[in-house]
């Protein structure tokens, strides 16, 4: 599997792009090993296409016309200011959102299975969080090693004993999926903190309808446009119990955040205030927003900032960001935070390896969606295996985000492998390793022609009084030939994603 799939640069990752990852990119595309053929999601050009309808409508559009539409789409995005920010480039870092006009289809039957799998996973992970910050049954009986949890950076002792309203820790989840060349869909990563990308899902669909209306003819495609309303319902459903008409706000780190476009998009589409931490104050056991008419009470905060920057009194005393006293109000049930602080422990990369066991433990069910086989370097026998097979594996640090410190075995030099082995030996708990997966492809407009490019998929899941999975999700595509780097900050693009009947 390719390293940078798992980092989340298009979205709200707070960390800058690590130089290690960039240098991998500069080194050129990651080639699929000789003889390995990726799974083609469409098979547009072959006789046995997976999607006859799409094959027909795209077959009827000459290349030249396709390029024209592609240009029209790009122009439209620019005019409308649909952008994301790239870190480390200073002021001019705002880039137009990259979009490809060939949609990525998923058949309804397959989607139903994915949806069931995602719901199952989220339910189990929320029970896990309740348990880990509560009675700790799963640690006490050794199903998940206590040490693994307590040693994780994403474990927040400040969250011990927390009871989030409605028992919901992860209101908004974006789970990364990939399809390997065995045809199987794997969960690559659970994003339980501030997953982003959903605004682009909605923008992509709207754009698609404008620039290629004819391909929608006769297709029955699941609607996604109601996401903002569902998100708002999810947020109000989990408001503190004593509030009749809860006031919801979206808390953003500000215009320089990479996902700022999304923050404004969601706030606007939900009709709620977009606030900075400096707009909020804690007083009389509640949170208030400063308005021109005086303070107004806030009941639910959809926060798009990291735990660390929520409340300097609780998490990071050195931080000038955040709302002093916020966690105290939260602990006493005076405000809802979505997602709940501390939820990050459940998407730790080492905990990930235990998710199938966690599902079994709480739900007594087998996991519907496959996990990528994961070797925990913290466990002796697995460590030996990893060290012996480094050139075939992808090694990831467990507690780092943003793709920091990832080593791609098949792409690494001998020196890099040696350095990686050394890092693993010095701190085994901090590393996991996985086989290198070959991502599936979708035809993409490249220099005026269609060519296969690798993709991943991030569906979005809402958890309020019920669990809702947005049909499809964000398809990211690596625009460089052979590359599996789908991040928009590194030349990745995006596609409209269709859950389609028949």
Partner 1 sequence: MICRVADSIYWLSRYIERAENIARFIDVSQMSSLGGRAIRDAQWAPLIYASGDEAAFRERFGDDFSQQRVLHFAIFDEQNPNSIFSCVRSARENARSIRGELSTALWEAINRFYLRVTEARVAAGTIVENPHRFLERVKRSSHTIVGVVVATMSHGEAWNFAMLGRVLERADKTSRILDVKYFTLLPDLSLVGSTLDIVQWSALLESTSALHMYRKRFGKIEPKQVAEFLVLDRDFPRSMRFCVSLGEECLRALTGTAPGMFSNSAEQQMGMLNSRMNYANIDDIVNNGLHEFVDSFQQQINEIGGEVSKIFFQPEA
Contact positions toward partner 1, by CB under 8 A?
A: 78-81, 254-255, 260, 263-265, 267-268, 273-276, 278-279, 281, 289-295
Least Å distance between CB 254 and partner 1? 7
90 vs 294, beta carbon nearer partner 1: 294
Closest separation between CB of residue 272 and partner 1, Å?
Answer: 8
Taking the least distance from each CB to partner 1, the nearer of 91 and 364 is 91
- Give 273 or 416: the residue with its C-beta nearer to partner 1: 273
Q: Which is nearer to partner 1, 73 or 478 (CB)?
A: 73
Sort strands 273-275 and 248-251 into parallel, antiparallel or unpaired: parallel
Minimum Å gap between C-beta 288 and partner 1 is 9
Instruction: For the CB of residue 81, give the shortest distance to partner 1 in the complex, in Å.
Output: 4
Which lies closer to partner 1 via its Cβ, residue 103 or residue 246? 246
User: Cα-flanking dihedrals φ and ψ of residue 208, to 5°?
Assistant: -55, -45
Sign of the alpha-carbon torsion through 474, 478, 483, 489? negative
Q: How far is the CB of 499 from partner 1 (least distance, A)?
A: 27
Phi then psi for residue 323, to 5 deg, are -120, 105
Shortest reach from residue 199's CB to partner 1, in Å: 11
Given phi > 0 = left and psi -120 to 50 = alpha, else beta, which region is 38? beta
Contacts of 191 (CB under 8 A, 6+ apart): 8, 11, 173, 174, 175, 176, 347, 458
* In the complex, minimum distance from the CB of residue 10 to partner 1, in angstroms, rounded to a whole number: 18
Contact 406, 189 (CB under 8 A): no
Q: Which residue carries 């290198």 as its tokens?
A: 436
Helix axes 260-270, 227-237, angle to 10 degrees: 80
Instruction: List the one residue out of 370, 361, 349, 342 whose CA is nearest residue 124.
Output: 361
Q: Closest CB to partner 1 among 268 and 332?
A: 268
Task: Report the Cα–Cα distance between both ends of the chain, in Å, rounded.
Answer: 31
Angle between the N-to-C axes of helices 63-80 and 198-211, in degrees from 0 to 180, rounded to the nearest 10: 130
């Amino acid at each position: 599997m390719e390293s940078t799939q798992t980092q989340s640069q298009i979205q709200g990752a707070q960390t800058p792009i690590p130089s290690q990852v960039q240098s991998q990119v500069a080194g050129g595309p990651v080639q699929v090993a000789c003889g390995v053929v990726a799974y083609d999601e469409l098979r547009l050009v072959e006789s046995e296409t997976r999607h006859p309808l799409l094959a027909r409508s795209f077959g009827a559009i000459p290349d030249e016309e396709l390029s024209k539409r592609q240009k029209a789409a790009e122009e439209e995005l620019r005019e409308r200011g649909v952008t994301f920010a790239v870190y480390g480039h200073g002021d001019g870092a705002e880039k137009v959102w990259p979009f490809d006009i060939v949609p990525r289809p998923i058949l309804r039957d397959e989607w139903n299975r994915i949806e069931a799998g995602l719901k199952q996973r989220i339910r189990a992970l929320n029970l896990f969080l309740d348990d880990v910050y509560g009675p700790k049954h799963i640690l006490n009986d050794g199903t998940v090693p206590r040490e693994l949890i307590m040693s994780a950076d994403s474990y927040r002792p400040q969250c011990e004993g927390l009871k989030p309203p409605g028992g919901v820790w992860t209101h908004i989840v974006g789970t990364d999926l990939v399809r390997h060349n065995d045809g199987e869909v794997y969960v690559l990563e659970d994003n339980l903190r501030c997953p982003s990308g959903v605004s682009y899902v909605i923008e992509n669909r709207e754009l698609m309808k404008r620039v290629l209306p004819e391909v929608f003819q006769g297709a029955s495609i699941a609607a996604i446009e109601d996401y903002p309303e569902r998100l708002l319902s999810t947020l109000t459903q989990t408001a503190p119990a004593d509030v009749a008409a809860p006031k919801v706000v979206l808390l953003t780190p500000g215009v320089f955040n990479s996902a700022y476009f999304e923050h404004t998009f969601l706030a606007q589409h939900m009709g709620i205030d977009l606030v900075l931490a400096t707009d909020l104050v804690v007083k009389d056991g509640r949170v208030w927003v400063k308005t021109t008419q005086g303070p107004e009470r806030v009941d639910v905060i959809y926060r798009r900032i990291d735990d660390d920057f929520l409340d300097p009194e609780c998490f990071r005393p050195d931080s000038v960001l955040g709302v002093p006293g916020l966690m105290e109000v939260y602990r006493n049930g005076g405000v809802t935070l979505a997602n709940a602080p501390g939820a990050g422990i459940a998407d730790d990369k080492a905990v990930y390896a235990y998710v199938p066991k966690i599902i079994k433990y709480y739900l007594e069910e087998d996991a519907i969606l496959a996990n990528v086989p994961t070797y925990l370097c913290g466990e002796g026998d697995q460590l030996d295996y990893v060290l012996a097979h480094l050139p075939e594996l992808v090694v990831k640090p467990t507690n780092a985000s943003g793709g920091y410190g990832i080593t791609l075995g098949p792409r690494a030099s001998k020196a890099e492998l040696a350095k990686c082995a050394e890092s693993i030996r010095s701190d085994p708990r901090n590393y996991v390793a996985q086989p290198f997966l070959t991502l599936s492809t979708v035809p993409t407009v490249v220099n005026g022609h269609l060519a296969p490019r690798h993709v991943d998929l991030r569906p979005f899941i809402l958890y309020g009084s019920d669990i809702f999975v947005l049909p499809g999700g964000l398809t990211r595509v690596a625009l460089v030939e052979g590359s599996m780097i789908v991040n928009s900050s590194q030349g990745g693009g995006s596609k409209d994603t269709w859950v389609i009947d028949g």
